[in-house]
């Protein structure tokens, strides 16, 4: 078989998928090729589904796959066929002159507003391509040096300023206020994503997809850093918490069942052996008592790490039946108990809102001070920790160069049965600046926990 350009493209696509963290085996590669032979070639969407069915075996990988598929098998080339009749009809009058001018911008924003209010995905995709082409071009010094910027395009058109108008339009469609806000936010987020996709596509056309694939593809949601997540990512992560908790609980139940047999029950074994003439054919075992810890969670809720603390708290409370008791405290420079916000069966969004509202109780001056928080905790809640309880501290150990209060923390760690510290920063940032990671890490074992996967693994291990 002679090497076709198609095979090269296929292999490059697979390489890019692997580089982005999708486990694509050789067997799946061969399946994909077989699938391509079986599928009709005239339809890009069918081709995409064929690839997806053979290569993507986990829903969380799908966004990454879609981004890369768009890079390697682009929807259109350049401005594409979309420069077609409908587009010219809309903005035909300024076609000969400079296409990026005031009136064009105003007209474009009108179109965008209509499309966003209607939620029309096809029009939005067309507008995204038009927007990057028209407002996101960055002329280069020579041929092949010009580039495209989603950032510039988004700055010029500023779709986020349209929020109020979209909300008004949605309210007119009979939606309630909060709902309209949320829908508008989600549609804008989606459109921003489309614009970024289109800019990537155009850059890939000029510099080759491999170049873009290396730098521009975001990690999957369960590997996304808490500290780098955007607002729309956080919402998506929040939706992942309950499925994650359920998966962990199932896994743990199964593992417990696998080691269900406890110590030999001598009395029952001998008793049962009477029926076989004193030969113990079947042994009987005592049931294993599941060990349930009392967990005390202390979390730093200052701005930089608040998201991380919220996710961990949500996960811990979603798994509460695996613990005997859970108590949660938040702190910035003062300690505040938040256990009462986690009612059984409570609504996630409500809990998050309550937590955010109670943040003010955890601060006196508003500057993170671990030392003061630990001292206060030891003073005000001496009953929280005992020989049956475990202590979990969440935070980046950045204490604004204040007193670390290692003494009280040592006492706390000594009282508790186990203690752990989860740090949402990458290990290479520990001990830089005002981080006291090593000093605290010597008292309480510290682990890196940057994303949902690591969080899930950690929670599984401590149970």
Partner 1 sequence: MTTWFASPADAVDRLGTAGYLADRATATTAFLAGSLEKPLLVEGPAGVGKTELAKAVARATGAELVRLQCYEGLDEARALYEWNYKKQLLRIQASGEQEWDATHDDIFTDEFLLTRPLLTAIRREEPTVLLIDEVDKTDVEVEGLLLEVLSDFQVTIPELGTVTAVRRPFVVLTSNATRELSEAVKRRCLFLHLDYPDAEREREIVSSQVPELEDRLAEQLVAMVGRLRELELKKAPSIAESVDWARTLVALEIRDLDDKAVDDTLGVVLKHASDTDRAVRELRLRK
Residues in contact with partner 1 by the rule CB under 8 A: 23, 25, 27-28, 31, 34-35, 38-40, 43, 45-46, 49-50, 52-54, 56-59, 62, 175-176, 178-179, 182-183, 186, 235, 238-239, 242-243, 246-247, 250-251, 254, 257-258, 345-350
Question: What minimum distance in Å lies between the beta carbon of 350 and partner 1?
Answer: 8
Least CB distance to partner 1 at residue 35 (A): 5
Give the Cα separation of 416 and 411 in Å (integer): 9
- C-alpha distance from residue 304 to each of 194, 238, 332, 389, 425 (Å): 28, 18, 11, 28, 10
Choice between 48 and 361, CB closer to partner 1 = 48
SS (H, E, C) the chain: CCCCHHHHHHHHHHHHHHHCCCCCCHHHHHHHHHHHHHCCCCCHHHHHHHHHHHHCCCHHHHHHHHHHHHHHCCCCCCCHHHCCHHHHHHHHHHCCCCCCCHHHHHHHHHHHHHHHHHCCHHHHHHHHHHHHHHHCEECCCCCCCCEECHHHHHHHHCHHHHHHHHHHHHHHCCCCHHHHHHHHHHHHHHHHHHHHHHHHHHHHHHHCHHHHHHHHCCCCHHHCCHHHCCHHHHHHHHHHHHHHHHHHHHHHHHHHHHCCEEEECHHHHHHHHHHHCCCCCCCCEEECCCCCCEEEEEEECCHHHHHHHHHHHHHHHHCHHHCCEEEEEEECCCEEECHHHCCCCCCHHHHHHHHHHHHHHHCCCCCCCHHHHHHHHHHHCCCCCCCCEEEEEECCCECCCCCCCHHHHHHHHHHCCEEEEEECCCHHHCCCCCECHHHHHHHCCEEECCCHHHHHHHHHHHC
Q: Is the CB of residue 166 less than 8 Å from the CB of residue 191?
A: no
Asked whether the beta carbons of 297 and 312 are under 8 A apart, the reply is yes
Nearer to partner 1, 58 or 388 (CB): 58
Q: How would you label 291-308 residue by residue, b for 16+ Cβ within 10 Å and e otherwise?
A: eebbbbbbbbbbeebbbb
Query: Considering the complex, what minimum distance in angstroms separates the CB of residue 59 from partner 1?
Result: 5
Nearer to partner 1, 89 or 258 (CB): 258
Nearer to partner 1, 34 or 360 (CB): 34
Residue number with CB closer to partner 1 (141 or 257) = 257
- Shortest Cβ distance from residue 27 to partner 1 (Å)? 6
With respect to partner 1, which residue has the nearer C-beta, 43 or 93?
43
User: At its nearest, how many Å lie between partner 1 and the CB of residue 345?
Assistant: 5
Least Å from the CB of residue 329 to partner 1: 24
Instruction: Quote the least distance from Cβ 111 to partner 1, whole Å.
Output: 23
Identity of the residue, 22 or 385, whose beta carbon is nearer to partner 1 in the bound complex: 22
Minimum gap (Å) between residue 251 Cβ and partner 1: 6
How far apart are CB 26 and partner 1 at their closest, in Å? Answer: 10
The CB-of-61 to partner 1 minimum distance in angstroms stands at 10
Which is nearer to partner 1, 418 or 460 (by Cβ)?
460
> Please, which residue, 5 or 40, has the CB nearer to partner 1?
40
Question: Shortest Cβ distance from residue 37 to partner 1 (Å)?
Answer: 9
Residue closer to partner 1, measured from CB, 131 or 318: 318
Q: Closest CB to partner 1 among 45 and 106?
A: 45
């Amino acid at each position: 078989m002679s090497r076709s350009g198609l095979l090269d493209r296929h292999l490059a696509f697979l390489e890019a998928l692997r580089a982005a963290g999708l486990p694509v085996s050789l067997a799946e590669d061969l399946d994909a090729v077989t699938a391509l032979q079986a599928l009709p070639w005239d339809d890009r969407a069918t081709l995409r589904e064929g690839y997806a069915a053979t290569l993507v075996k986990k829903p969380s990988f799908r966004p990454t796959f879609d981004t890369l598929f768009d890079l390697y098998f682009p929807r259109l080339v350049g401005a594409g066929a979309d420069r077609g009749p409908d587009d010219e009809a809309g903005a035909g009058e300024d076609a000969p002159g400079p296409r990026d001018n005031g009136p064009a911008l105003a007209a474009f924003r009108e179109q965008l507003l209509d499309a966003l209010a209607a939620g029309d995905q096809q029009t939005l995709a067309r507008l995204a391509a038009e927007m990057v082409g028209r407002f996101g071009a960055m002329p280069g010094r020579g041929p092949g040096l010009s580039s495209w910027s989603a950032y510039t395009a988004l700055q010029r058109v500023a779709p986020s300023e349209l929020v109020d108008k979209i909300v008004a339009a949605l309210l007119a469609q009979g939606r309630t206020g909060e709902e309209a806000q949320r829908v508008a936010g989600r549609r804008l987020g989606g459109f921003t994503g489309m614009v970024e996709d289109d800019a990537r596509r155009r850059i890939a056309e000029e510099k080759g997809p491999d170049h873009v694939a290396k730098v521009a593809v975001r990690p999957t949601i369960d590997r996304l850093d808490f500290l780098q997540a955007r607002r729309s990512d956080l919402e998506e992560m929040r939706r992942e918490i309950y499925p994650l908790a359920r998966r962990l609980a199932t896994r743990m139940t199964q593992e417990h069942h696998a080691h269900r047999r406890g110590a030999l029950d001598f009395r029952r074994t001998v008793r049962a052996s009477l029926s076989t003439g004193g030969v113990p054919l079947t042994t009987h075992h005592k049931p294993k008592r599941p060990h349930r810890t009392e967990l005390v969670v202390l979390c730093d809720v200052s701005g930089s790490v608040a998201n991380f603390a919220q996710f961990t708290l949500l996960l811990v409370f979603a798994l509460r039946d695996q613990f005997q008791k859970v108590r949660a405290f938040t702190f910035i420079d003062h300690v505040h108990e938040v256990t009462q916000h986690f009612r059984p069966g409570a609504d996630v969004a409500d809990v998050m809102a309550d937590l955010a509202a109670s943040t003010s109780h955890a601060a006196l001056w508003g500057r993170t001070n671990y030392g003061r928080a630990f001292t206060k905790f030891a003073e005000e809640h001496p009953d929280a920790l005992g020989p049956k309880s475990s202590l979990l501290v969440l935070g980046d150990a950045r204490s604004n160069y204040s007193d670390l209060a290692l003494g009280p923390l040592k006492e706390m760690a000594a009282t508790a049965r186990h203690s752990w510290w989860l740090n949402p920063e990458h290990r290479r940032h520990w001990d830089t600046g005002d981080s006291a990671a090593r000093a605290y890490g010597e008292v309480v074992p510290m682990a890196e926990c940057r994303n949902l996967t690591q969080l899930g693994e950690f929670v599984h291990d401590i149970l």
